[in-house]
């Protein structure tokens, strides 16, 4: 067998092994899991997640997921805990300790210290009968039959199982808290994801120039307006500021092909009526969907029935919405 074939076969076997481990996890979710979730939900403190080795790395990810979904959490390394970091734990906090075996020397030193306080201890472990399992108030079973490592030694399937248990825990708490998209946006203000959830049309359009002409505006002035404002359009409004039409670059090109003499033409002669509009308070991502559905690259923005600006496809690209 060629080396590449061997690599592909090994990768597939590792993935299949971990898939089997994850599929088995759902059968291990029991009443203890539900009790642990309800206790965290009703607690007034934070979730302190601890572990050592690879489990510590998983713990940091679980902390990040909890924080981003509305459950305050903090990471405490198990080795550092016995050298001063136990002070991290406050009276109302809930502790989650992660360990595959539940019997490592560090865990055996740490767990009795944790039990000295008033805090409840939740174990994520692959061995319910371990030292950690016996001492914990709640056990989240993360047992796996074998690691993806061919020597059954390197933490692979077991750490994946821990990660999935942590995700399940976070999602259960998210649903109990009725944590919605608006809450998610509050915790994720940066990046494209956050912008899709909180950025509104007026946040973008107000930064743009505001082209505008009247129905009687001469074509020469319309062309100047489109050119100077650099948005490819000139909205046409009445004296009250209501949108009555739009002139685009395309309209100008079609006019030049149709007319030899343009000096007598006005905006109303070439404008398109009933242009596509969007409310200033609408979500920016809705503007994108509107543009895609209509095959256009800009929308006129309205506020209380009056012209308020233009939002362009390029604005959405610049903001990372696309």
Find the Cα–Cα–Cα–Cα dihedral 56, 57, 62, 67, rounded to 10°.
100
DSSP state of 271: P
DSSP state of 296: -
What are all long-range contacts of 26-29, with beta carbons under 8 Å and residues at least 24 apart? 28/141, 28/142, 28/143, 29/141, 29/168
Q: Render 12-53 in DSSP notation, one character per residue.
A: HHHHHHHHHHHHHHGGG--HHHHHHHHHHHH-SSPEEEEE-T
Q: How far apart are the C-alpha atoms of 72 and 63, rounded to whole Å?
A: 8
238: left (phi over 0), alpha (psi -120 to 50) or beta: beta
Q: Render 90-150 in DSSP notation, one character per residue.
A: -TT-EEEEEESSS--HHHHHHHHHHHTSS--EEEEES-TTSHHHHH-SEEEE---S--SST
Q: How far apart are the C-alpha atoms of 14 and 11, rounded to whole Å?
A: 5
143 is in an annotated binding site: no
**Residue 136 CB partners (closer than 8 Å, separation 6+):** 97, 121, 122, 123, 125
Binding residues: 77
Binding residues for Zn(2+): 77
């Amino acid at each position: 067998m060629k080396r590449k074939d061997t690599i592909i076969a090994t990768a597939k076997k590792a993935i299949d092994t971990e898939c089997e481990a994850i599929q088995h996890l759902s059968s291990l979710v029991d009443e203890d899991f539900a009790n642990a979730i309800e206790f965290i939900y009703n607690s007034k403190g934070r979730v302190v997640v601890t572990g050592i080795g690879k489990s510590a790395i998983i713990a940091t990810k679980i902390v990040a997921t909890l924080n981003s979904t509305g459950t305050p959490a903090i990471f405490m390394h198990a080795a550092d805990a016995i050298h001063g970091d136990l002070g991290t734990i406050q009276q109302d906090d809930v502790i989650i300790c992660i360990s595959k075996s539940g019997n490592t020397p560090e865990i055996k030193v740490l767990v009795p210290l944790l039990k000295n306080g008033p805090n409840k201890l939740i174990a994520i472990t692959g061995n319910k009968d371990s030292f950690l399992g016996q001492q914990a108030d709640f056990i989240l079973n993360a047992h796996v039959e074998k690691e993806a490592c061919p020597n059954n030694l390197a933490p692979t399937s077991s750490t994946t199982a821990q990660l999935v248990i942590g995700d399940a825990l976070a999602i259960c708490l998210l649903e109990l808290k009725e944590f919605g998209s608006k809450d998610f946006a509050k915790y994720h203000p940066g990046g494209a994801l956050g912008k899709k959830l909180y950025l509104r049309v007026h946040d973008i359009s107000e930064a743009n120039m505001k082209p505008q002409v009247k129905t009687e505006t001469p074509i020469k002035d319309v062309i100047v307006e489109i050119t100077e404002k650099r948005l490819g359009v000139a909205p046409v409004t009445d004296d009250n500021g209501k949108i009555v039409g739009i002139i685009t670059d395309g309209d100008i090109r079609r006019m030049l092909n149709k007319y030899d003499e343009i000096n007598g033409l006005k905006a109303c002669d070439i404008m398109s009526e009933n242009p596509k509009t969007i409310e200033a308070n609408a979500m920016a991502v809705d503007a994108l969907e509107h543009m895609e559905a209509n095959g256009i690259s800009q929308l006129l923005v309205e506020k209380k029935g009056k012209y308020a600006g233009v939002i362009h496809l390029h604005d959405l690209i610049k903001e990372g919405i696309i």
